Structure 1
Amino acid sequence: MQAPSSVIYHQPIHLSNYEDTSIQQLQSQSSSPVSLYEQQNSYQAKQVKHVKKKTVTRKLKMYGDYDDYEQKKIDEEKEHTYKYKRNFSFNRFLKARFFDAFESFIHFMKFVYDYLFCCKLICFILRTDADTQKRRLLERKNLINKAQMSQALSSPSSSSTYSTSIISDNTISNLDKMENSMNNFLNENPLLSFNYDQQLNMSTNSTLSYLKMYEEHPNNLVLDLDETLIHCNEKSLNDDSSIITVQFQNQQKNYYLHQRGYLQEFLEQCALNFNIYIYTASTRDYAEEVVKIIDPRSVIKKVYDRSSCFYDGKQYLKSLKTLGLDLNRTVMIDNNQACVSNNIENAFKIKDFFSDKNDRELQKFQNILNKMCKFTGNFKDFIQSYQS
């Protein structure tokens, strides 16, 4: 029976011919048995792969499936490319979303940092006034303790006086010996005894007066700064001026400060009978720098700055009602007529000061305040009767 014309028979491929040829070639190339064996195996593997590929291609062409095979390969490559692009797009989408989320997190943390910084700044501003007041009270307390100590040491009493102060036993015994030696010296020199007692009484009286400056009084004295107690200028007008440095709008400026005549004596005398307050329309930094110079003994109890004033559209005005003081026992001295008019029942107007060395206005007001502190009634009545 004859085979159909569409079927083509091919002779089978025998590898023996290839094997003989490969062996002869390898023997001619190398004489080493090990290298010869390895080269023979690799060559045979290549020949088998080549034969299989030819066989598959021939069968596909024989049965008409070669085009489908090539199309299938193309479709597989396209699908592989599509999957790769899809995965790449998805990964890029994830990266974009991740970076967007990370950027949003960074903005949120920056907002939290700014919010906490603002809160801290507000707390610092609110705490500044309390810290300043606390520091001044602590300085005043230390000065009182030093004055009490000096009074105890200057008193010529027995050892029981020293035992009441905060001094160790060894210090007490040493002080007793010093006191005994001083008494013996005075007994031997009677002419010096009177001078010693007189100086001792003077020292005790000055110490008591010093302590009285830091006591709480029922009377309140509110003073202005500029053109009332001092005058500041960018140029020095006399040799007695002091230099203060104030920071204004992120810039430091130097000013020459001129104190009004009799200022130190005025503050120390008023502190014996009044609680002294500074009430100024200037900034807090400026006011504190000025107070450090004019009040070396810390007799001023508190400083009220511009934040305690109100603005009427033209200037900053003051109101004693915002200070929380007893207005029946409060007096104010200011050179600004608008501030005096706003507190007419409690205020005296003083002449403007512009570094005049012969100015004696504070001495005049010292006499008025000495009379006021002895007045037991309402200060408003005293001020009204004086102005009338």
Structure 2
Amino acid sequence: MDNPSIITQVSKEEAKTPLREKVSACYQYEEEMGGEGGGGGGEGMVGKRGRGGKDEGWNQILFLPDWMIPSCPPQPVNNADFIIPVEIDGTMHQVYVLKRPHVDVFLKRMGELFECVLFTASLSKYADPVADLLDKRGAFRSRLFRESCVFHQGNYVKDLSRLGRDLDQLIIIDNSPASYVFHPHNAVPIASWFDDMSDTELLDLIPFFERLSMEENIFTLLQEHHCS
């Protein structure tokens, strides 16, 4: 079974390219194309924002894509956090899953600050059961899978304009700039993760998102983050 074909569109080899270089190419593409996606709003895949009770303080919607679905080593490992049975072409396979360090703390805090949506290029047959195991506190208000992406120039793109919300309230974290090529100004880039258990990137990002959750204009702070 080719794990990346059902799970992610970023391989270890591709992850060697500096993230800043890939993000710069994404901005250049947007300028050349004049933006592929629309302006947002209207009815869409996520639906109207819930209000009342816990939801009352939310100003933005945060999309947690493929990096949130943990790494899957090509071979069985002894320290897997989850083992997911997945049926591919009539055959059951065991997918061994490693959680990125601090993902539980990060997801809990993001669920307190934002309306969170899992948006992944992974197939639902894999990503849905992983999300069930990962999201014990119910941070994900919606889940969108590969079927909700736009296949564009060989990549699965998360077109934020199709989601039914104003773009100035949408934030996407992604390890693949190709995934947000239509809306790079809404993105918080994050490095791909495979097996480095000393990684602290999720923990380091929490203060930034705490600031971002208080902003009326998300683009100002996002631009500062892109330039830092």
* Fold shared, TM-score > 0.5 on shorter chain: yes
**Match in the other structure for 1:340:** 180
The structure 2 residue matched to 1:224, chosen from 44, 49, 65, is 65
Structure possessing the higher radius of gyration over alpha carbons:
1
Once the two structures are superposed, residues 192-241 of structure 1 have per-residue CA deviations (whole angstroms, 9 ceiling, x without a partner) of xxxxxxxxxxxxxxxxxxx84x667221110112x455111342345143
In 1, the alpha carbon distance for the partners of 2:201 and 2:225 equals: 16
Unaligned runs of 5+ in 2: 1-44
Paired residues, number: 178
Q: Against the structure 1 CA distance between its residues 215 and 254, is the aligned structure 2 distance closer, same or farther, given a 3 Å change threshold?
A: farther
1:383 matched to 2:222: yes
Deviation, 1:314, is 1.6
SS in structure 1 opposite 2:185? coil
**Match in the other structure for 2:149:** 309
1:319 matched to 2:159: yes
Note the 1:1-388 alignment, pairs <5 A.
212=54, 217-225=58-66, 227-375=67-215, 377-388=216-227
SS in structure 1 opposite 2:98? strand
Aligned residues with identical type, % of pairs:
26
In 2, the alpha carbon distance for the partners of 1:280 and 1:248 equals: 19
In 2, the alpha carbon distance for the partners of 1:259 and 1:215 equals: 31
Q: Taking CA–CA contacts closer than 8 Å with sequence separation of 6 or more, which of the two structures ends up with the larger relative contact order? A: 2
- The amino acid that maps onto 2:126 is Y
Alpha carbons 2:69, 2:130 under 8 Å: kept: no
- The amino acid that maps onto 1:250 is G
Flag the structure with higher strand content: 2
Deviation, 1:316, is 1.5
Q: Against the structure 1 CA distance between its residues 305 and 329, is the aligned structure 2 distance closer, same or farther, given a 3 Å change threshold?
A: same
Q: Against the structure 1 CA distance between its residues 293 and 341, is the aligned structure 2 distance closer, same or farther, given a 3 Å change threshold?
A: same
Unaligned runs of 5+ in 1: 1-129, 138-210
Once the two structures are superposed, residues 245-301 of structure 1 have per-residue CA deviations (whole angstroms, 9 ceiling, x without a partner) of 122222221101111111111111111110110111111121211101110122211
Q: Name segments (4+ residues, structure 1) moved above 6 Å.
A: none
The TM-score, its normalising length taken from structure 1, stands at 0.43
Flag the structure with higher helix content: 1
